[in-house]
A and B are shown apart, each in its own frame.
Chain A
Amino acid sequence: MGLPTPEDPSVKKSNLVIIKERERLNKLLTNKPSYMYLIVTLSSLIRCMSVDLPQNYEPPANQPLTPYQIEDLGYQVSKDNLVLFMPDTSFIITLFEAARKSRSAVALSQVYVHYCFYSQSNAKKIFQVVCEGLEQYDYDKVRPFLILFQHMLESSVIPNSPLFS
C-alpha cells in the first residue's frame, strides 16, 4: 500500500488505460467497496492513539509507549467508540474468528495488545478471549487466537512494560 502517484497530464494515456480507469471509478460509485484492508487500517489508526498510563508511571523518554505504537498523535478512543472496540468478550471472540487471514489476525492482535498494555483488567479480558476462543472453535479456526496469545507473550518480555513483565 502506498500513496497514489500524482498523474502527469502531459503523458498521453492509451485507450485501454482510460477504459480501465473509467470502469474502476464506476465500480467505486456503484459497488460496495472492498474491505480487504479495513482491519489493518483500523489497527493502524488506533495504534496512533494515546493509551492511558498507570498512575505514577513515567514512561522512558523518546520511546513508544507500547511495542506496537506507531505514533502518538494525541488522540484517544472516545467512549462511544470504546463500546465498539472493547465490547463483551464474546464479541471480540467473533471478531478474531472472522480474521481468517494472518494479516488481519496480526493487525487485530497488535491493536488489542497496544490498547491493553497498561491495563490489568483489559489484559485479563483479552486472555479470556484467547482461552474461550481456543475452547469454542475447532482446529481450523483457532489460529487467530494463537496469534493473539503470541503477541501477548512477545510484548510481556519488553522491559518497559509495568504490567506484562
Chain B
Amino acid sequence: MAQGWLEVFFTKVIRENLPFYQWMEIVTDWVIKVAFRIELVRQWMHANNELWSFMIDWYK
C-alpha cells in the first residue's frame, strides 16, 4: 500500500500543486526529510525516478 500512496502523492498531489511555490517548498523539505529517515521512501524514489524527477526540473 505504501508504494501506491507514494505514487499518488508524487504523481497527483504534488503535480497539481506545482504552481504554488511556497507549498512546493514546504513539501520538498518534507520529502527530503522523509527520504533521509525512511528507507522504503528512499528505495521507492530510487526505483521510480521517472515519477518524481519533475521536481528536480521544477527547481531549475
Contact = CB atoms under 8 A, between A and B. Distances in A.
B23 A139 contact: yes
A152 interface: yes
A135 B9 CA distance: 11
Q: What is the predominant secondary structure among interface residues of chain B facing chain A? A: helix
Given A152-B2, A156-B40, A135 B16 contact: yes
A115 to B, nearest CB: 16
Q: What is the predominant secondary structure among interface residues of chain A facing chain B? A: helix
Contacts of B8: 127, 131
A45 interface: no
Contact of B27 (A146, A154, A156, A157): A146
Interface of A: 120, 123, 127, 130-131, 134-135, 138-140, 142-143, 146, 149-150, 152-154, 156-157, 163-165
